[in-house]
Structure 1
Amino acid sequence: MRSEIIHLSICSVTIVLSCLLTACQRPAADIVHETKEAPKSEKTTPDLTQICQNLKQEMRDMNAQRTTLAIEQVNQDIRLCLPLMKFSEQKELMNLSQKMYQNFLHLDRTSIQQQAFENYVLDQAAYPTIQQSQFEQLNIRDQYLLRHKGQAYIELIEQDGDQIAYRRSPQYLAKVFAPYLPEPEKVFIENLAEQNTQALLKNNSINLSPDEIAKRAIFWQKYIQDYPKSAYLSDAKILKNTYSNLLFQGIESAPISVHFESQSDIDIASWIAIKRLAKSNDGELSKQAEKFQQFINMTTEQRKQKIQLSAKEQNKLENKPQLLLLSQLNQYLNLYPMDIKRAKRDCFSDAICSSS
Structure 2
Amino acid sequence: MQMNKTTLIIGISLLLGITACQPPSDKTDSSDATSTSAQSVESPSTQPLVEAKTPKALTKALVKLSEKTLKVQLICTKLDDTINAIDNKSEIEDIHTVQRQIDACLPVADNAEILRWLEYYQAMYGRFLSADSSMDDEAFFTVMENVEQDGKLTVAQLKQVNPRVRYLISLVRSRADVSVRYMGEDHFEFHHDLSAMADMFTPYLPDDQSEFIQRMAQDNQEIFWFDTAIAISFEELVERAVFWEDFISRYPDSRFYDDANALLDTYRYLLFFGSENVRWIDDDIRKFYLLKDERLMMQLAKRTDSQLAEDVQKLLVFMEQSDSERHQLYPVPDKDENGHKINQWEVTHYQLNKALDIPSLRDTVKDRNCLHGVTCVVETGQ
TM-score (norm 2): 0.73
- CA displacement at 1:269 relative to structure 2: 4.0
Mean alpha-carbon deviation: is it higher for 73-82 or for 316-325?
316-325
Query: Which residue is 1:183 aligned to?
Result: 207
Return closer, same or farther for 1:127/1:351 CA change in 2, 3 Å cut-off: closer
Paired with 1:180 and 1:57, the residues of 2 have a C-alpha distance of 21
What is the CA-CA distance between 1:108 and the residue it aligns to? 3.6
Question: Residue 295 of structure 1 aligns with which residue?
Answer: 318
The equivalent of 1:205 in structure 2 is: 229
Aligned 8 A contact 1:292 1:333 in 2:
yes
* Cα shift readout 1:200-245 (whole Å, capped 9, x = no counterpart): 1224322111111111100000111111111111111111011111
CA distance in structure 1 between the partners assigned to 2:135 and 2:235 by the alignment: 42
| Contact 2:119 2:375 survives alignment (8 Å) | no
The aligned residue for residue 127 of structure 2 is: 103
1:255 corresponds to which of 279, 290, 293: 279
The 10-residue stretch of structure 1 (57-66 or 69-78) with the greater mean CA deviation from structure 2: 57-66
Counterpart AA for 1:284: Q
Distance 1:341 1:152 in 2: 35
Q: Which residue of 2 aligns with 1:328?
A: 351
User: In the alignment, residue 192 of structure 1 is paired with which amino acid?
Assistant: M
1:138 aligns with 2:161: yes
Name 2:368's counterpart in structure 1: 345
What's the CA shift string for 1:277-306, capped at 9, x where partnerless?
123446221221122111111111111233
Offset of residue 191 of structure 1: 0.6
Q: Does the CA contact (< 8 Å) of 2:133 and 2:140 recur in 1?
A: no
> What is the identity, as a one-letter code, of the residue corresponding to 1:304?
H
Change in Cα spacing, 1:92 to 1:246, as seen in structure 2 (3 Å) is same
Task: Summarize the Cα distance change of 1:157–1:288 in structure 2 as closer, same or farther, 3 Å threshold.
Answer: same
Stretches of structure 1 that go unaligned for 5 or more consecutive residues are 1-41
Instruction: Answer yes or no: is the 8 Å Cα contact 1:159–1:202 preserved in 2.
Output: yes
CA, structure 1 residues 186+124, in 2 after alignment: closer, same or farther (shift >3 Å)?
A: closer
Q: What's the counterpart of residue 39 of structure 1?
A: none
Larger radius of gyration: 1
Change (3 A) 1:134 1:310: closer
Q: Which residue of 1 aligns with 2:238?
A: 214
Q: What TM-score comes out, normalization by structure 1 length? A: 0.77
Aligned match of 1:154 in 146, 159, 178?
Answer: 178
**Per-residue displacement from partner, 1:104-140 (whole Å, max 9, x unpaired)?**
223344789x432221121344572332321233211
Find the partner of 1:81 among 83, 96, 105.
Answer: 105
Aligned to 2:258: 234
**Is residue 251–residue 257 contact of structure 2 (8 Å, CA) maintained in 1?**
yes
- 3-state SS of the aligned residue for 1:279? coil
Contact 2:285 2:348 in 1 (8 A): no
Q: Distance in 1 between matches of 2:350 and 2:370?
A: 24
Distance 1:338 1:158 in 2: 24
Identity in percent: 24
- Number of equivalenced pairs: 313
The question of 1:53 aligning with 2:53 is answered no
Q: Residue 171 of structure 1 is aligned with which of 164, 176, 195?
A: 195
Equivalent AA in structure 2 for residue 299 of structure 1: S
2:179 alignment partner, SS class: strand
- 1:102-121 correspondence to structure 2 within 5 Å: 102-109=126-133, 114-121=137-144
* Structure 1 position 172, deviation (Å): 4.2
Distance 1:282 1:158, change over 3 A: farther
Secondary structure of the equivalent of 1:348? coil
How far apart in 2 are the matches of 1:298 and 1:124? 52
CA distance in 1 between partners of 2:298 and 2:112 (Å): 43
Structure 2 unmatched runs, 5+: 1-63
Q: Compared with structure 1, are the counterparts of its residues 322 and 344 closer, same or farther at alpha carbon in structure 2 (3 Å cutoff)?
A: farther
Contact 1:344-1:355 at 8 Å conserved across structures:
yes
Q: How far, CA to CA, are the matches of 1:205 and 1:283 in structure 2?
A: 27
Q: Take 1:60 and 1:278, find their aligned partners in 2: how far apart are those partners?
A: 47
Instruction: Output the CA distance in 2 between the equivalents of 1:109 and 1:287.
Output: 47
Q: Note if contact 1:196-1:349 (Cα within 8 Å) is conserved in structure 2.
A: yes
CA distance in 2, matches of 1:196, 1:300: 40
1:310 CA displacement: 8.6
The SS at the match of 2:190 is: strand
Deviations 1:166-217 (A, max 9, x none): 1333324411222211221111110111011121122432211111111110
Question: 2:307 maps to what in 1?
Answer: 284
Taking only aligned residues, the RMSD between alpha carbons, in angstroms, comes to 3.1
- How far apart, in 1, do the equivalents of 2:104 and 2:91 lie? 21
Larger displacement relative to structure 2 (220-229 or 268-277): 268-277
Counterpart of 2:170 in structure 1: which amino acid?
R
